[in-house]
Amino acid sequence: MPSDRPDRRVTGGRAETDARVTGGRAETDARVTGGRAEADARVTPGIVVTGTGVISPAGLGAARLWEAMAAGKTFFDGGDDGPPASGLPWPAAAVDTSEITWPAGPVWANAGKYANQSARWAVAAARQALEQAGISGETEDVRGGTVMAVASSGDELSDVIPQLASRYRTDSRPLVKFLHDEVPDYSYIRGIPSQLGQFVSMASGFRGSNVAAYGEAAAGGTGALALAVRLLESGELDRVLVVGVGAPLTVTGLAAFDQDEPFGTRAVTGAGPFDAERSGSLAGQGAAAVLLERAEAAAGPALARLLGCEVLAASDLPTAIGLAVDAVLDGRAAPPTAWWAHGAGSVRLDAVEAGAVLPRTGSVPVTGSKGTIGNAFECSALIDTALAVRSLTRGELPPVGMLGHPDPALGGLAPVIGEVRPLPPAATVLLTALNQGAGATAAGALLLAAAEAAAEAAAETAADGRTADHGKARA
């Protein structure tokens, strides 16, 4: 593995970005220098989404999950059929792993000996996004990079080290030779930010950067997206593959989350996000990949445009949500066409989210995925991003799962219920993401636009700039 590979890490379980909250206002430090105009990191008209990948309880691909939402399906155990099969009090939605495959070939066969379930999910989701963008991954690309959104618990190689120790006891090779042969180039112990990211680098051929945003505190993957945006806007990279994995929670993990922010115990209509009878979030699992590219250097056709992305931590969650939403909507005359909400199903979090977002957007159609597949934590916002892109390409919003009667206490909320709702041609979608837990103080937001609509908006902005410059020259 090259020794000069950049080793960037996001530590402390929280995505560290250039965004700061000072004097109650979100400020950004990102600048484009060297004779180029300074750019505000919150507005990103030159970044496009060219590929997405999803692994969810609905199966492989964003299309399958979107169709399941449109059909009103849910994937929780228990529900109307009785208590969860696990014997635990909390219904959960699980991934069927039978469809997830590992790449063929001797290099991948060797790497596969040390690939845990999360690595296999990450690679499978990444390959979906790359295939959609027409990228084979067979050649090295130093203008491409990876950003991972993964769990922060435990050592990534905790499963690998015992295997190596056991095998070396009966192996005749010198230790150095044994490690060279048996440890994949992409899993050197703590020599790089993320072992999972190196497996993704193998699949993509991207060699320009490897960044990891550890922990659910990175707001469901929006922290990873924000880091990717900064790498693209700085000009360091032309494309970044953002991949997140929300692995199955252990019983201990479920119990810890439940103590902090109680999980729901019902998976039936009326228990969904924003419902008057909701009683708590439900756990899910999955993986997702979102390929972002600079528009002028994109390898594949644009599925949507990313107009803004921010993740912030503040003194409290309502402030964080408000600042993140303000950052991506700043300077826009029209509100977003639709809102893809975090929609946890929590009595408290749903109220906090609606209370912070609705004053800034007005009553716009809102949907979310957690009433269908639950909260996949580290990658929940990446799954939602893939679904929002799917909605923009289809021109429709799917309904909120398990939502029967919207809570009137949530003000002007206008959820999509029962059937899909059409979107206008020039649609924009605001997406929000929150941390789970009573002490959560970080939130993320992004703004997506239909590819055609965003191109028109960018052209209008450029024309306005030329008119203003011409006016100044004449004055």
Q: Could you read off the pLDDT of 369-407 as tens digits, one per residue? A: 999 999 999 999 999 999 999 999 999 999 999 999 999
Higher-scoring residue by pLDDT: 168, 34: 168
pTM of the model: 0.81
pLDDT of 2 over the 60 cut: no
Share of the chain above pLDDT 90, in %: 64
The reported pLDDT for the residue numbered 436 is: 85
The reported pLDDT for the residue numbered 333 is: 81
The band of 45, judged by pLDDT with boundaries at 50, 70 and 90, is very low
Share of the chain above pLDDT 70, in %: 79
Lowest mean pLDDT among 159-163, 339-343, 389-393, 455-459: 455-459
Radius of gyration in angstroms for the set of CA atoms belonging to the chain, rounded to a whole number? 22
- In eight-state DSSP terms, residue 262 is P
User: How many other C-beta atoms can be found within 10 angstroms of the C-beta atom of residue 213?
Assistant: 35
The band of 22, judged by pLDDT with boundaries at 50, 70 and 90, is very low
pLDDT tens, position by position, 81-128: 566 767 889 999 999 999 999 999 999 999 998 898 999 999 999 999
pLDDT tens, position by position, 418-460: 999 999 999 999 999 998 888 888 999 999 999 975 455 445 4
Residue whose C-alpha is closest to residue 379's, from 158, 141, 149: 149
- Please provide residue 450's backbone torsions phi and psi, each rounded to the nearest 5 degrees: -55, 140
Higher-scoring residue by pLDDT: 471, 328: 328
The reported pLDDT for the residue numbered 84 is: 74
Contacts of 139 (CB under 8 A, 6+ apart): 205
The band of 184, judged by pLDDT with boundaries at 50, 70 and 90, is low
Strand partners, 141: 206
Which tokens hold the place of 198? 């190196």
Single-letter amino acid code for the residue at 304 = A
pLDDT of 37 over the 70 cut: no
The reported pLDDT for the residue numbered 194 is: 73
Averaged pLDDT, 306-329: 95
Contacts of 36 (CB under 8 A, 6+ apart): none
Averaged pLDDT, 182-186: 56
- Contact between 66 and 398 under an 8 Å Cβ cutoff? The reply is yes
Residue whose C-alpha is closest to residue 125's, from 238, 294, 241, 231: 241
